[in-house]
């Protein structure tokens, strides 16, 4: 498991260690989670890694922005453990 307090620190770690999947918070200091996802999906080294976004609450338009960024899933917080595990398993199976 890789943890980082910002996308700017997270992206180099993901490129180096290539976890499967990435659980991404949208609201991080510096580069936000959607831009971080776009960067990962454009990079040949990380484009195959599923990215599941975790967010506090979904607002109108969030779904489209999340999918446009290349995210593979987006359960809203509070995350229920069983639902999150099911989403991760589904993403890995796809």
Residue 27 pLDDT > 90, yes or no? no
What percentage of the chain has pLDDT greater than the value 90?
39
pLDDT of residue 58: 65
Helix (H) or strand (E) holding 23: strand 22-25
Looking at per-residue confidence, does 71 or 57 come out higher?
71
CA-to-CA dists, residue 70 to 7, 74, 81, 82, angstroms:
16, 11, 23, 24
Task: Map out the domains of the chain as residue ranges.
Answer: 7-93
| Cα Rg of the chain, angstroms | 12
> Angle CA(81)–CA(3)–CA(82) in degrees, nearest 5?
10
CATH superfamily, domain at 7-93 = Response regulator (3.40.50.2300)
């Amino acid at each position: 498991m890789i943890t980082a307090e910002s996308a700017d620190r997270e992206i180099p770690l993901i490129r180096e260690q290539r976890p499967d999947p990435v659980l991404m918070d949208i609201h991080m200091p510096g580069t936000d989670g959607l831009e971080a996802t776009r960067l990962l999906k454009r990079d040949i080294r990380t484009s195959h890694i599923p990215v599941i976004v975790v967010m506090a609450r979904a607002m109108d338009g969030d779904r489209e922005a999340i999918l446009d960024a290349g995210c593979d899933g987006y359960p809203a917080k509070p995350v229920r453990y069983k639902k999150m595990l099911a989403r991760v398993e589904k993403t890995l199976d796809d």
